[in-house]
Structure 1
């Protein structure tokens, strides 16, 4: 598992709104059984939650998504099967959203 890998959301209940989970966990803490993730939601469904820094728009698989940083959580690592892509090229946006959520900067 690599930082900024994208996984399909395995939840049947939530995947129609949140199709992907973004693994943001540092590679330095890979020995624990959970992974820290941020859901990616369809931008059209979350237009009232859009905030440039906190919930940046991200394109993936021809979809316009929002990185829903306020919904950060951990999931058991075993539910994340195979990554389907990486958002490492959005690293700066992702880190900025976390900084804004935690420190307001």
Structure 2
């Protein structure tokens, strides 16, 4: 499992608003049984400036919502969709805005 891998949201009840999750956790912590993820939405009304990162999945616009974070067991993240490494700078900037206020 790589950092910034995007998976189908394993939480069926949340899939309508957040169809995907993105792994934020560093690969240095692969030994843990969970991953820190942010949720991914196509609904721009729930994507906030500075803490959301635009990405494209299958030619559809989505937003990584850095303010919607959870831990999910590794074995529940099974349907890999893509990797968002191209958005790394935006993800780090959104993380800084959310947690560091910069």
Determine the structure 2 residue equivalent to 1:97: 94
Determine the structure 2 residue equivalent to 1:68: 65
Structure number having the greater strand percentage: 2
The Cα of 1:58 is off from its aligned counterpart by: 1.7
Determine the structure 2 residue equivalent to 1:50: 48
Runs ≥4 residues deviating over 2 A = none
Determine the structure 2 residue equivalent to 1:12: 12
**Equivalent residues, number:** 102
Closer/same/farther in 2, CA of residues 49 and 90 from structure 1, 3 Å limit = closer
**Unpaired segments of 5 or more residues in structure 2?**
none
- What's the TM-score once normalised by structure 1's chain length? 0.89
- What's the TM-score once normalised by structure 2's chain length? 0.92
